C-alpha cells in the first residue's frame, strides 16, 4: 500500500465523526484528528504532484532522445543505401569501358594503329580505376559492416528506451491515480465537516417532510393523476430513504412520511409490495389514499389491497380517479375503505355527470368533499355536516342544485367551478350560511344563483377564478347585502373578461377590502383602469378602499405602466403618504431591478 493510501484509509467514516464532539470540537478519542488527516493528505498530494512534474520532465527528455536516435538511424540507413547504389553504378561503368577497350585491341582494324594506341592507354587507365574501385569496395564493405553493427546496437538501445518510457509512463499514471484517490478521500473527509451532517435529527425530519409535501403539491389536480399512475410514480419517499442510512432511519421513524398511498389501476406485484410497505409505516388515522378505479380493474388485485384497510376506523382523505363508466365500481369500493375526513371523487368529463351514493358512515365523518364531473348523494342526509365543498362540472346548473340546504349549513369554504347557470329568482326565505367565510366561484354564479338562494353574513374572502357577464342590478343587490351583513376583506381575481370598467366600478364599492390578489392577465387590466373608475364613481361610491396588501402572481409584464403607477398613486392619494402598501410579487420574472427599486420607495416590497 502506498503512503497516500495508508494516510487516506487510516480512519473510517464513523471513526472520523468520532473525533469531533457535538459542537465540532476534537474529543481526543482518536488520533490524529480529522483536520490533521486532511492537512497530511494535502501535503502528500503536493509531494506527489512535485514528483509527477519531475517525472513528466524526465519522460519528455527520454522521448526527445528516442526521437533524435530514430532520426540519426534513419539518416544513416539512407546514406548507406545511397553509397551502395553509387558503388554499383561506378563498377558497372568501369567494367563496360574495360570490355570496349579489349574489343578494340583484339579487332584487326585497317589504319587503326593510333586507335589501338589510344585504346591501350585507356585500358590501362580503366584497369587502374577498376583496381582502385575494388579496393574502395573492400573498404566500403568494412564500413558497411561497422554501420550494420552500430545500427543493430542503436536499434537495441531504442527498444530499451521505448520500454523504459512505457514503464515510466505507467509510473506516472499510477501517481495520477494515487493523487485522484487521495483527493477523493479528502473530499469525503471535508464532507464530514459540512455543517449539514451536524444538524439534529429533528431538523432533518422537518426538511424531509417539507420536501415530500412539495412533491405532492400537484397530486390534487386531475390532469396529473393518470400520468403519475401510468409512470408508477409516487415513490419520492422510497427515493429519499435510499439516499443514506441516516435518512432511511429518520423516515422509517416518521409515520407522516408514508401517509400518502397510491393504489393504481391493474396493480402489479411490485405495486402491491410498495403499498404494503407504505401501510406498515404510515400513521393510520392520517392515511391519504389515492385510488384509480376503472370499469376493467381486476377484482383479484382490488380484493388483495382492500384487505389492508378493512380494520381501520378512519383515515384522513381518499382521492378516487375513475372513468365515466367506472363510477359503479366506486360505489362498491367505498364500502371497503375507512370513512375519511376528506373525500375527492374525480370522474372524466361526460355528457351526464354520474351519481355516487356515499355510505352512511361517510356522512358522519366526511367534512371536506370535492366532486369533479360527478354528483354525490348520501345514504342519510341528516347526518351530513360539510365544512368544505368543491364542485367542478361542465354540465349546466350543476352548482349546488343537488345539495339540500341542511347539508350546507355548516360550510366554511365553498368552491364552485361550473358552466353558466340559469338566473334564479330572489327567494323570500333564503337559507343563511352563517359559517361560510370563503367563496370561490364565477361572478355569474355568485350573483345570479348563490346570492339569491343563500345569505352570506360571514363572507370575508371572495375568489373569482373566472369572470362572466352580470348585471349591475344583481351586483347592487349583492353589494347592499354585503354592506348590511358581511365585510369582504380579501379579493382574489384570477381571470377576467374585457369588461374591466364596469367590473372596476363595482369592486370599488367593497369599502372593507384590505387585500387584493391579482393573477396573470388581470394585473394590467385592473391596475391601469382602477384610477379612472375611481374618479368616475367617487361622488356616488365614496372613497377608494385603503388596501393593506397587494399580491401579484404569475405576471409576465414589466409593471411600469400598471403596477408601479398604481402603487405610487395609492400611496400618494389614498394613503396620503402615510403607511406603505405591502406588495408581494410571486413569479413575476420580467419586472426589472429599476422598477423594483422604485416600488420599494413607495411600498413595503416582498419578493
pLDDT of residue 388: 93
pLDDT of residue 389: 92
Helix 299-306 / helix 269-281 crossing angle, nearest 10 deg: 10
Q: What is the mean pLDDT of each run of 10 residues along the chain (607 residues)?
A: 40 39 43 69 79 79 77 73 67 57 52 58 64 66 70 74 78 82 78 72 86 56 47 67 84 86 75 82 83 65 66 77 72 78 82 75 86 81 84 72 79 83 71 90 80 86 76 73 75 70 69 88 80 63 77 89 88 82 91 90 88
Residue partners of 285: CB distance under 8 A and separation at least 6: 313, 314, 315, 316
Look up the pTM and report it: 0.62
C-alpha dihedral sign at 501, 502, 503, 508 = positive
- Cβ atoms < 10 Å from Cβ of 468: 16
Residue partners of 250: CB distance under 8 A and separation at least 6: 201, 204, 205, 208
Residue partners of 494: CB distance under 8 A and separation at least 6: 463, 464, 465, 466, 519, 520, 522
**Which grid cell is 27?**
474529543
* Residue 324 and residue 353 in contact, taking contact as beta carbons nearer than 8 Å: no
Based on its alpha-carbon atoms, the radius of gyration of the chain, rounded to whole angstroms, reads 47
DSSP string computed for 529-578: HHHHHHHHHHHHH-SPP--SEEEEES--S--TTTHHHHHHHIIIIISTTS
Cα separation, 331 vs 329, in Å, equals 5
pLDDT of residue 360: 80
Selected from 1.25.40, 1.10.287, 3.40.50, 1.10.3470, the CATH number assigned to the domain covering 3-198 reads 1.10.287
Cα separation, 7 vs 10, in Å, equals 5
Query: Minimal CA–CA distance to 478: which of 446, 500, 508, 503?
Result: 446
Q: Which residue has the cell 400611496?
A: 571
* CA distance readout (Å), 472 to 35, 168, 533: 76, 93, 15
Domain locations in the chain as residue ranges: 3-198, 489-607
Cα separation, 330 vs 390, in Å, equals 19
pLDDT of residue 438: 94
pLDDT of residue 6: 39
Residue partners of 2: CB distance under 8 A and separation at least 6: 178
Amino acid at each position: 500500500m502506498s503512503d497516500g493510501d495508508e494516510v487516506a484509509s487510516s480512519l473510517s467514516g464513523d471513526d472520523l465523526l468520532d473525533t469531533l464532539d457535538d459542537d465540532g470540537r476534537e474529543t481526543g478519542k482518536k488520533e490524529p484528528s480529522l483536520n490533521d488527516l486532511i492537512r497530511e493528505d494535502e501535503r502528500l498530494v503536493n509531494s506527489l504532484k512535485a514528483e509527477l512534474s519531475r517525472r513528466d520532465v524526465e519522460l519528455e527528455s527520454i522521448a526527445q532522445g528516442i526521437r533524435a536516435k530514430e532520426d540519426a538511424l534513419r539518416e544513416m540507413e539512407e546514406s548507406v543505401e545511397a553509397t551502395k547504389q553509387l558503388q554499383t553504378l561506378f563498377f558497372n561503368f568501369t567494367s563496360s569501358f574495360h570490355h570496349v577497350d579489349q574489343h578494340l585491341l583484339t579487332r584487326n582494324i585497317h589504319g587503326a594503329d593510333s586507335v589501338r594506341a589510344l585504346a591501350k592507354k585507356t585500358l590501362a587507365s580503366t584497369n587502374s580505376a577498376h583496381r582502385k574501385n575494388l579496393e574502395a569496395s573492400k573498404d566500403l564493405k568494412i564500413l558497411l559492416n561497422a554501420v550494420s553493427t552500430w545500427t543493430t546496437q542503436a536499434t537495441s538501445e531504442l527498444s530499451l528506451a521505448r520500454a523504459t518510457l512505457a514503464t515510466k509512463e505507467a509510473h506516472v499514471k499510477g501517481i495520477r491515480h494515487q493523487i485522484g484517490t487521495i483527493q477523493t478521500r479528502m473530499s469525503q473527509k471535508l464532507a464530514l465537516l459540512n455543517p449539514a451532517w451536524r444538524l439534529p435529527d429533528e431538523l432533518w425530519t422537518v426538511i424531509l417532510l417539507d420536501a415530500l409535501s412539495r412533491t405532492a403539491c400537484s397530486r390534487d389536480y386531475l390532469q396529473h393523476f393518470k400520468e403519475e399512475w401510468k409512470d408508477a410514480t409516487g415513490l419520492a419517499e422510497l427515493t429519499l430513504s435510499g439516499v443514506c442510512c441516516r435518512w432511511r432511519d429518520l423516515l422509517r421513524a416518521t409515520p407522516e412520511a408514508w401517509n400518502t398511498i397510491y393504489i393504481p389501476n391493474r396493480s402489479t406485484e411490485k405495486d402491491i409490495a410498495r403499498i404494503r410497505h407504505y401501510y406498515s409505516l404510515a400513521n393510520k388515522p392520517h392515511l391519504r389514499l389515492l385510488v384509480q378505479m376503472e370499469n376493467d380493474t381486476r377484482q383479484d388485485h382490488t380484493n388483495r389491497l382492500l384487505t389492508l384497510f378493512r380494520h381501520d376506523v378512519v383515515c384522513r382523505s381518499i382521492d378516487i380517479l375513475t372513468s365515466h363508466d367506472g363510477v359503479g365500481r366506486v360505489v362498491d369500493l367505498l364500502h371497503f375503505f375507512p370513512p375519511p375526513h376528506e373525500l375527492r371523487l374525480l370522474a372524466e368529463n361526460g355528457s351526464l355527470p354520474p351519481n355516487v351514493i356515499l355510505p352512511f358512515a361517510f356522512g358522519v365523518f366526511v367534512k371536506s368533499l370535492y366532486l369533479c364531473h360527478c354528483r354525490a348523494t348520501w345514504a342519510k342526509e341528516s347526518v351530513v355536516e360539510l365544512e368544505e365543498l368543491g364542485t367542478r362540472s361542465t354540465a349546466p346548473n350543476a352548482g349546488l342544485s343537488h345539495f339540500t340546504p341542511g347539508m350546507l349549513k355548516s360550510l366554511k369554504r365553498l368552491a364552485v367551478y361550473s358552466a353558466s347557470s340559469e338566473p334564479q329568482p330572489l327567494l323570500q326565505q333564503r337559507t343563511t350560511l352563517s359559517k361560510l367565510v370563503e367563496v370561490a366561484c364565477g361572478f355569474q354564479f355568485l350573483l345570479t344563483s348563490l346570492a339569491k338562494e343563500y345569505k352570506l353574513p360571514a363572507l370575508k374572502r371572495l375568489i373569482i377564478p373566472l369572470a362572466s357577464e352580470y348585471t349591475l342590478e344583481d351586483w347592487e343587490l349583492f353589494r347592499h347585502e354585503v354592506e348590511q351583513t358581511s365585510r369582504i376583506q380579501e379579493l382574489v381575481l384570477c381571470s377576467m373578461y374585457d369588461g374591466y370598467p364596469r367590473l372596476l366600478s363595482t369592486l370599488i364599492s367593497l369599502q372593507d377590502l384590505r387585500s387584493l390578489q391579482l393573477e396573470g392577465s388581470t394585473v394590467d387590466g385592473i391596475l391601469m383602469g382602477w384610477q379612472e373608475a375611481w374618479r368616475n364613481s367617487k361622488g356616488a361610491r365614496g372613497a377608494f378602499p385603503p388596501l393593506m396588501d397587494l399580491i401579484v402572481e404569475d405576471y409576465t409584464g414589466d409593471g411600469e405602466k400598471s403596477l408601479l403607477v398604481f402603487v405610487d398613486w395609492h400611496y400618494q392619494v389614498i394613503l396620503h403618504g402615510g403607511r406603505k402598501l405591502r406588495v408581494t410579487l410571486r413569479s413575476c420574472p420580467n419586472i426589472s431591478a429599476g422598477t423594483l427599486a422604485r416600488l420599494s420607495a413607495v411600498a413595503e416590497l416582498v419578493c
